[in-house]
Protein backbone atom coordinates (compact mmCIF):
# COMPACT_ATOMS: atom_id res chain seq x y z
CA UNK A 1 0.00 0.00 0.00
CA UNK A 2 1.33 3.42 -0.95
CA UNK A 3 1.60 5.66 2.15
CA UNK A 4 -0.11 9.05 2.17
CA UNK A 5 2.06 11.84 0.76
CA UNK A 6 4.72 13.47 2.91
CA UNK A 7 4.28 17.24 2.81
CA UNK A 8 6.78 19.85 4.00
CA UNK A 9 5.27 22.98 5.58
CA UNK A 10 7.54 25.94 6.23
CA UNK A 11 6.74 28.18 9.18
CA UNK A 12 7.31 31.36 7.20
CA UNK A 13 8.42 34.47 9.06
CA UNK A 14 8.64 33.53 12.76
CA UNK A 15 7.51 37.04 13.73
CA UNK A 16 4.47 36.90 11.49
CA UNK A 17 1.24 34.98 11.21
CA UNK A 18 2.79 32.00 9.44
CA UNK A 19 3.39 29.76 12.48
CA UNK A 20 -0.20 30.20 13.64
CA UNK A 21 -1.52 29.44 10.15
CA UNK A 22 0.49 26.21 10.08
CA UNK A 23 -0.84 25.11 13.47
CA UNK A 24 -4.42 25.91 12.47
CA UNK A 25 -3.99 24.04 9.19
CA UNK A 26 -2.66 20.95 10.96
CA UNK A 27 -5.54 20.96 13.42
CA UNK A 28 -8.22 21.37 10.76
CA UNK A 29 -10.95 18.77 10.91
CA UNK A 30 -10.81 16.78 8.81
CA UNK A 31 -7.19 17.02 7.68
CA UNK A 32 -6.63 15.28 4.32
CA UNK A 33 -4.63 12.04 4.66
CA UNK A 34 -0.97 13.07 4.63
CA UNK A 35 2.27 12.93 6.57
CA UNK A 36 3.05 16.57 7.41
CA UNK A 37 6.53 17.69 8.40
CA UNK A 38 6.78 21.25 9.68
CA UNK A 39 10.09 22.90 8.77
CA UNK A 40 11.44 25.67 10.98
CA UNK A 41 12.31 26.51 14.56
CA UNK A 42 10.69 24.05 17.01
CA UNK A 43 10.57 26.85 19.59
CA UNK A 44 8.57 29.02 17.19
CA UNK A 45 6.16 26.17 16.49
CA UNK A 46 5.68 25.53 20.21
CA UNK A 47 5.08 29.25 20.80
CA UNK A 48 2.34 29.24 18.15
CA UNK A 49 0.74 26.19 19.78
CA UNK A 50 0.69 27.99 23.14
CA UNK A 51 -0.62 31.20 21.59
CA UNK A 52 -3.59 29.36 20.11
CA UNK A 53 -4.26 27.43 23.30
CA UNK A 54 -4.01 24.06 21.57
CA UNK A 55 -3.01 20.88 23.38
CA UNK A 56 -0.27 19.55 21.13
CA UNK A 57 3.17 17.98 21.28
CA UNK A 58 6.03 18.97 18.98
CA UNK A 59 8.42 16.16 18.05
CA UNK A 60 11.75 17.17 16.51
CA UNK A 61 12.44 14.95 13.51
CA UNK A 62 14.48 15.24 10.32
CA UNK A 63 12.18 12.88 8.44
CA UNK A 64 8.41 12.88 7.93
CA UNK A 65 6.30 10.58 10.10
CA UNK A 66 5.93 7.06 8.70
CA UNK A 67 2.14 7.31 9.01
CA UNK A 68 -0.30 10.21 9.44
CA UNK A 69 0.24 11.40 13.02
CA UNK A 70 -2.65 11.49 15.47
CA UNK A 71 -4.29 14.85 16.23
CA UNK A 72 -2.11 17.03 18.41
CA UNK A 73 1.23 15.54 17.36
CA UNK A 74 3.41 17.74 15.15
CA UNK A 75 6.65 16.57 13.55
CA UNK A 76 9.13 19.42 13.10
CA UNK A 77 12.40 19.50 11.15
CA UNK A 78 14.57 22.12 12.91
CA UNK A 79 16.34 23.23 9.70
CA UNK A 80 19.43 24.10 11.74
CA UNK A 81 17.34 26.38 13.96
CA UNK A 82 17.14 24.25 17.11
CA UNK A 83 19.06 26.91 19.06
CA UNK A 84 17.68 29.91 17.18
CA UNK A 85 16.54 32.84 19.34
CA UNK A 86 12.85 33.51 19.84
CA UNK A 87 11.54 36.37 17.69
CA UNK A 88 8.89 38.69 19.17
CA UNK A 89 5.74 38.88 17.04
CA UNK A 90 5.66 41.83 14.68
CA UNK A 91 9.41 42.50 14.82
CA UNK A 92 10.97 42.81 11.36
CA UNK A 93 14.60 41.77 11.62
CA UNK A 94 17.48 40.09 9.84
CA UNK A 95 17.15 37.17 12.26
CA UNK A 96 13.51 36.55 11.38
CA UNK A 97 14.47 36.69 7.70
CA UNK A 98 17.36 34.28 8.26
CA UNK A 99 15.08 31.76 9.94
CA UNK A 100 12.48 32.04 7.18
CA UNK A 101 15.09 31.48 4.45
CA UNK A 102 16.65 28.55 6.32
CA UNK A 103 13.27 26.82 6.51
CA UNK A 104 12.62 27.30 2.79
CA UNK A 105 16.06 26.00 1.83
CA UNK A 106 15.64 22.93 4.03
CA UNK A 107 12.14 22.20 2.75
CA UNK A 108 13.30 22.41 -0.86
CA UNK A 109 16.16 20.05 -0.04
CA UNK A 110 13.68 17.56 1.45
CA UNK A 111 11.53 17.69 -1.67
CA UNK A 112 14.51 17.50 -4.02
CA UNK A 113 15.77 14.42 -2.19
CA UNK A 114 12.38 12.74 -2.46
CA UNK A 115 11.70 12.72 1.28
CA UNK A 116 8.71 15.01 0.78
CA UNK A 117 6.59 15.17 -2.35
CA UNK A 118 5.06 18.62 -1.93
CA UNK A 119 5.85 21.96 -0.33
CA UNK A 120 3.47 24.36 1.40
CA UNK A 121 4.91 27.76 2.34
CA UNK A 122 3.65 30.10 5.03
CA UNK A 123 3.99 33.88 4.48
CA UNK A 124 7.40 35.54 4.65
CA UNK A 125 8.31 39.20 5.13
CA UNK A 126 10.25 40.41 2.11
CA UNK A 127 12.01 43.18 4.01
CA UNK A 128 13.19 40.68 6.61
CA UNK A 129 14.69 38.27 4.08
CA UNK A 130 16.44 41.20 2.39
CA UNK A 131 17.90 42.26 5.75
CA UNK A 132 19.17 38.70 6.05
CA UNK A 133 20.98 39.03 2.73
CA UNK A 134 18.58 37.18 0.45
CA UNK A 135 18.64 38.65 -3.07
CA UNK A 136 15.21 37.32 -4.03
CA UNK A 137 12.02 39.41 -4.19
CA UNK A 138 9.89 36.55 -2.86
CA UNK A 139 9.11 32.85 -2.73
CA UNK A 140 8.72 32.38 -6.49
CA UNK A 141 12.17 33.63 -7.40
CA UNK A 142 13.81 31.83 -4.47
CA UNK A 143 12.21 28.49 -5.33
CA UNK A 144 13.24 28.90 -8.96
CA UNK A 145 16.87 29.44 -7.95
CA UNK A 146 16.93 26.60 -5.43
CA UNK A 147 15.51 24.15 -7.98
CA UNK A 148 17.59 25.49 -10.89
CA UNK A 149 14.43 26.18 -12.88
CA UNK A 150 14.70 28.77 -15.65
CA UNK A 151 11.08 29.22 -16.76
CA UNK A 152 8.71 29.91 -13.89
CA UNK A 153 5.48 31.76 -13.31
CA UNK A 154 3.42 32.64 -10.27
CA UNK A 155 -0.05 31.15 -10.66
CA UNK A 156 -2.82 31.39 -8.11
CA UNK A 157 -6.01 29.40 -8.04
CA UNK A 158 -9.12 29.87 -5.94
CA UNK A 159 -12.68 28.87 -6.72
CA UNK A 160 -13.22 29.15 -10.47
CA UNK A 161 -10.25 31.48 -11.05
CA UNK A 162 -6.75 30.49 -12.15
CA UNK A 163 -4.48 33.49 -12.66
CA UNK A 164 -0.86 33.57 -13.84
CA UNK A 165 1.37 36.66 -13.79
CA UNK A 166 3.69 37.90 -16.52
CA UNK A 167 5.55 40.13 -14.04
CA UNK A 168 5.60 39.56 -10.29
CA UNK A 169 7.29 41.72 -7.65
CA UNK A 170 8.27 44.69 -9.77
CA UNK A 171 7.67 48.44 -9.40
CA UNK A 172 4.89 49.57 -11.72
CA UNK A 173 7.31 51.92 -13.47
CA UNK A 174 9.31 48.91 -14.68
CA UNK A 175 6.40 46.74 -15.76
CA UNK A 176 5.91 47.98 -19.36
CA UNK A 177 9.51 47.16 -20.28
CA UNK A 178 9.20 43.70 -18.72
CA UNK A 179 6.00 42.82 -20.59
CA UNK A 180 7.63 41.24 -23.64
CA UNK A 181 6.35 38.85 -26.26
CA UNK A 182 8.60 35.95 -25.20
CA UNK A 183 7.61 36.37 -21.55
CA UNK A 184 3.89 36.45 -22.37
CA UNK A 185 4.27 33.33 -24.47
CA UNK A 186 6.29 31.49 -21.81
CA UNK A 187 3.79 32.25 -19.03
CA UNK A 188 0.85 31.29 -21.23
CA UNK A 189 2.46 27.97 -22.14
CA UNK A 190 3.15 27.23 -18.48
CA UNK A 191 -0.47 28.08 -17.68
CA UNK A 192 -1.68 25.82 -20.48
CA UNK A 193 0.45 22.95 -19.17
CA UNK A 194 -0.84 23.51 -15.63
CA UNK A 195 -4.45 23.35 -16.80
CA UNK A 196 -3.75 20.11 -18.67
CA UNK A 197 -2.36 18.61 -15.45
CA UNK A 198 -5.65 19.52 -13.78
CA UNK A 199 -7.47 17.48 -16.43
CA UNK A 200 -8.79 20.47 -18.38
CA UNK A 201 -8.87 19.55 -22.05
CA UNK A 202 -8.02 22.34 -24.52
CA UNK A 203 -7.78 25.05 -21.83
CA UNK A 204 -9.28 28.41 -22.75
CA UNK A 205 -6.87 31.13 -21.68
CA UNK A 206 -7.64 34.85 -21.59
CA UNK A 207 -4.74 37.28 -21.83
CA UNK A 208 -5.24 40.67 -20.21
CA UNK A 209 -4.16 43.98 -21.62
CA UNK A 210 -1.69 46.17 -19.80
CA UNK A 211 -3.45 49.52 -20.09
CA UNK A 212 -7.01 50.57 -19.14
CA UNK A 213 -9.54 49.26 -21.68
CA UNK A 214 -6.71 47.18 -23.18
CA UNK A 215 -5.28 50.35 -24.69
CA UNK A 216 -8.48 51.53 -26.40
CA UNK A 217 -7.06 50.86 -29.86
CA UNK A 218 -3.83 52.68 -29.09
CA UNK A 219 -5.34 55.80 -27.52
CA UNK A 220 -4.28 54.71 -24.00
CA UNK A 221 -1.02 52.96 -24.81
CA UNK A 222 0.69 50.96 -27.52
CA UNK A 223 1.71 47.83 -25.60
CA UNK A 224 -1.40 45.91 -26.63
CA UNK A 225 -0.78 46.62 -30.32
CA UNK A 226 3.00 46.32 -30.36
CA UNK A 227 3.58 43.46 -27.91
CA UNK A 228 0.57 41.64 -26.48
CA UNK A 229 -1.56 41.10 -29.60
CA UNK A 230 1.35 39.67 -31.64
CA UNK A 231 2.17 37.27 -28.79
CA UNK A 232 -1.47 36.15 -28.66
CA UNK A 233 -1.42 35.59 -32.42
CA UNK A 234 1.69 33.43 -32.19
CA UNK A 235 0.17 31.36 -29.40
CA UNK A 236 -3.04 30.89 -31.38
CA UNK A 237 -1.04 29.83 -34.43
CA UNK A 238 0.64 27.21 -32.24
CA UNK A 239 -2.76 25.74 -31.42
CA UNK A 240 -3.51 27.24 -28.01
CA UNK A 241 -7.05 28.44 -27.29
CA UNK A 242 -6.17 32.01 -26.34
CA UNK A 243 -8.08 35.29 -26.41
CA UNK A 244 -6.75 38.79 -25.96
CA UNK A 245 -5.61 41.31 -25.17
CA UNK A 246 -8.76 41.89 -23.12
CA UNK A 247 -9.68 44.70 -20.68
CA UNK A 248 -8.88 43.50 -17.18
CA UNK A 249 -11.77 45.34 -15.52
CA UNK A 250 -14.35 43.06 -17.18
CA UNK A 251 -12.20 40.02 -17.85
CA UNK A 252 -12.26 38.59 -14.34
CA UNK A 253 -16.03 38.75 -14.01
CA UNK A 254 -16.41 36.74 -17.20
CA UNK A 255 -13.78 34.23 -16.09
CA UNK A 256 -15.48 33.84 -12.73
CA UNK A 257 -18.63 32.80 -14.57
CA UNK A 258 -16.84 30.24 -16.72
CA UNK A 259 -15.87 32.08 -19.89
CA UNK A 260 -12.23 30.96 -19.55
CA UNK A 261 -10.26 28.32 -17.70
CA UNK A 262 -7.35 30.61 -16.84
CA UNK A 263 -6.15 34.20 -17.10
CA UNK A 264 -2.71 35.59 -17.84
CA UNK A 265 -2.37 38.98 -16.12
CA UNK A 266 0.36 41.48 -16.90
CA UNK A 267 1.33 42.56 -13.37
CA UNK A 268 0.96 41.66 -9.71
CA UNK A 269 -2.02 43.70 -8.53
CA UNK A 270 -3.93 43.29 -11.78
CA UNK A 271 -3.97 39.55 -11.21
CA UNK A 272 -4.18 39.32 -7.43
CA UNK A 273 -6.73 42.01 -6.59
CA UNK A 274 -9.74 40.11 -8.00
Each residue's pLDDT tens digit, 11-58: 999 999 999 999 999 998 778 899 999 999 999 999 999 999 999 999
Q: Is there a single domain that holds both residue 34 and residue 162?
A: no
pLDDT band at 233 (very low <50, low <70, confident <90, very high): very high
Q: Which domain holds residue 126?
A: 6-144
Quick check: is 193 in a domain? Answer: yes
115 shares its domain with 13 = yes
pLDDT > 90? residue 100? yes
Same domain, 82 and 204: no
Domain presence at residue 173: yes
Boundary (domain end) residue, out of 89, 124, 144:
144
Does the pTM surpass 0.85? The reply is yes
What per-residue confidence (pLDDT) applies to 3?
86
CA atoms within 13 A on the CB side of 57: 6
Confirm whether 74 is domain-assigned.
yes
Check residue 30 and give its pLDDT.
79
- Lateral strand order in the sheet of 73-77: 57-60, 73-77, 35-39, 6-10, 118-120
CA separation for the pair 16, 89 (Å, rounded) = 6
Q: pLDDT for 104-158, tens place per residue?
A: 999 999 999 999 999 999 999 999 999 999 999 899 999 999 999 999 999 999 9
pLDDT > 90 in the chain, percent: 91
Looking only at the bridges linking them, the beta strands covering 35-39 and 155-158 are unpaired
Same domain membership, residue 229 and residue 136 = no
Q: Would residue 188 count as lying in a domain? A: yes
% of the chain with per-residue pLDDT over 70? 100
Instruction: Kindly state whether residues 246 and 159 are assigned to the same domain.
Output: yes
My answer on whether 59 and 182 are in the same domain is no
Among 144, 172, 202, the domain-final residue is 144
Is 51 domain-assigned?
yes
Count of structural domains, the chain:
2
Give the model confidence (pLDDT) of 163-175 as tens digits: 999 999 899 999 9
Q: How many residues does the chain have?
A: 274
Question: Are residues 130 and 10 part of one domain?
Answer: yes
* Residue 150 within any structural domain of the chain: no
Residues 170, 88 share a domain: no
Q: Which residue, 123, 144, 165, sits at the end of a domain?
A: 144
- CATH number, domain with residue 86: 3.40.718.10
Report the 3 state secondary structure along the chain.
Answer: CCCCCEEEEECCCCCCCHHHHHHHHHCCCCCCCCEEEEECCHHHHHHHHHHHCCCCEEEECCCCCCCCCCCCEEEEECCCCCCCCCCCCCCCCHHHHHHHHHHHHHHHHHHHCCCCCEEECCCCCHHHHHHCCCCCCCHHHHHHHHCCCCCCCCEEEECCEEEEECCCCCCHHHHHHHCCHHHHHHHHHHHHHHHHHCCCCCCEEEEECCCHHHHHHHCCCCHHHHHHHHHHHHHHHCCCEEEEEECHHHHHHHHHCCCCCEEEECCHHHHHCC
Amino acid sequence: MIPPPAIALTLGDPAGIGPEIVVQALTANPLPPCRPLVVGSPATLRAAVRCLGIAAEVVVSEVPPATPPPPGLFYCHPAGLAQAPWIPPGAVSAESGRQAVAAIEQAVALCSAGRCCALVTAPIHKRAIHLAGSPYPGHTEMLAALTHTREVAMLLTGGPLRVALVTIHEPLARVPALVTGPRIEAVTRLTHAFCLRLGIQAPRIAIAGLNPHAGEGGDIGQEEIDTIAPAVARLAAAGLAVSGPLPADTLFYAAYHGAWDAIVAMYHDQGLAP
